[in-house]
Amino acid sequence: MASTKLYAAIYVVLFAFATLQVAVEELGFLGEAYWVAFGAIIVLSFLKALVVAGYYQHLRYEPRSLSYLILTGLLAALALTVAASYSIT
């Protein structure tokens, strides 16, 4: 089982990713370079989801086939998000 220090470090990483996402939104990048900002937010969201699934949901210790199944669902959600962004703009 992982230590409290590891979980605290993961929390700090997730907090940093969330702060970067807010910074991208608040600094006005969405108005100037929409697709660059959108891509940055999607990448950060994807990384956060991987960290949460890998550590907090303990997918690191599961069989690889289950991890691939979860990754497939994550990629499908990403594809749907990108498709939905085209219908908004």
Give pLDDT tens digits for 40-52.
888 898 889 888 8
Give the pLDDT score at 4. Answer: 87
Give the pLDDT score at 75. Answer: 87
pTM greater than 0.75: no
Q: Indicate the residue type of 54.
A: G
Residue ranges of the chain with pLDDT lower than 70?
1-2, 28-32, 88-89
Give the pLDDT score at 74. Answer: 80
**Which of 7, 73, 28 shows the shortest CA–CA distance to 46?**
73
Q: Indicate the residue type of 31.
A: G
Q: What's the domain count of the chain?
A: 1
**Which residues constitute the domain of residue 43?**
4-88
DSSP 2: -
Give the pLDDT score at 86. Answer: 79
